[in-house]
Structure 1
């Protein structure tokens, strides 16, 4: 009986510790969300890395994104993606092609730029993870685990700069072993943006094939 009591107390203490860690993680994520929501806009330069050691795949490139509310302009891998709040325009200069589709939030499980600071609010549990010194900055990691047991994502690590409460990097590990890492190289809030930055101007692409998907 004494041993059972000791085991029960140990289990309760462990669960209490997990609950505290989960609450700490949720509070930190909320602090990050509150910080970025106070900005009128954000311009971010980042490094994008995709790696799958089993398949001997390693890709690394740079990109940039401008975000205002739920609108964004993303440049990555020679492709530009524009979201004006209603439609997504994917511009591929190499193929002189533009794909246009209506955005349906209910059908989108991806981490888009405009959801970068809020995607974790639904569908994930949180855990307080390790902290690391990255180039003199203390980065606190929060681990996100999908609630859906059939999700392709195994886990996501969000690295948060403890001094600024800005996201330093995002490490997404998939069930197939693929790891995608996005590391912020430059973060500039409240920048003077062109008024038509998030507006698609079809006249600029007269030689492009426009594929309207819906």
Structure 2
């Protein structure tokens, strides 16, 4: 379960990749990015699913993340991850354990979810895909293909609500046949969030083992 939790976080990180492509696809991604950056904060409730038919593997779970600038609070699979702008706190109630580490922007594992909707990293080619009508919403898909031919990711389909310019879902297909899908159930913006939401209170976890990694 821990490993899958890390995979979820790594997959959320994947959402930040911006494609190097011309015309409509690039323009749409830039529009989505600008829209996201205009918000003071964002609250996302999402569904995560992983499926590999050949291996008879299927898993679904839900999660939520609150974002304000670089700060975030992520809940997934019983684990809470907090970034207060300087330190990362991973709280694992099942093991009564907390890992604390400094944020290193050069470490890809430490890229914050707050960047997952901004598309500023290179590494993908993009092109406009199909449009689907999902529950009355027009979803425009953008097909992202890794520039690196050795990448484990085969392709990513990014679904964007044509009216709101918010991301609706992301479908990643890997070379081994595994398909990972993240679907946004709710996307709220500019909510009244207390600053304490992104603060770690050590006195609340007196019985926990605290692992200070640096």
Place the TM-score, normalised by the shorter chain, in its bin: 0.7 to 0.9
Give me the TM-score of the superposition, normalised by structure 2: 0.85
| Higher relative contact order structure (alpha carbons within 8 Å, sequence separation ≥ 6) | 2
Give me the TM-score of the superposition, normalised by structure 1: 0.85
- Cα offset, 1:120, TM superposition: 5.4
1:22–1:128 Cα contact (<8 Å) kept? no
The unaligned stretches of length 5 or more in structure 1 are: 1-20
| Displacement over 4 Å in runs of 4+ | 109-112
Q: Distance in 2 between matches of 1:33 and 1:197?
A: 25
2:70–2:112 Cα contact (<8 Å) kept? no
Change in CA separation of 1:109 and 1:99 when aligned onto 2, cut-off 3 Å? closer
2:71 alignment counterpart:
71
Q: Distance in 1 between matches of 2:92 and 2:70?
A: 22
Change in CA separation of 1:145 and 1:103 when aligned onto 2, cut-off 3 Å? farther
Q: Distance in 2 between matches of 1:160 and 1:110?
A: 26
Change in CA separation of 1:40 and 1:128 when aligned onto 2, cut-off 3 Å? same
Q: Distance in 2 between matches of 1:209 and 1:49?
A: 31
- Cα offset, 1:140, TM superposition: 0.3
The unaligned stretches of length 5 or more in structure 2 are: 1-20
1:192 alignment counterpart:
192
1:111–1:119 Cα contact (<8 Å) kept? no
Write out per-residue CA displacement over residues 21-43 of structure 1, whole angstroms, 9 at most, x where no aligned residue.
Answer: 84211100010011111100011
Matched pairs, number: 194
Q: Distance in 2 between matches of 1:109 and 1:91?
A: 17
> What's the secondary structure of 2:27's corresponding residue?
helix
Write out per-residue CA displacement over residues 131-180 of structure 1, whole angstroms, 9 at most, x where no aligned residue.
Answer: 11111111000111222222222211110000110000011122222211
2:158 alignment counterpart:
158
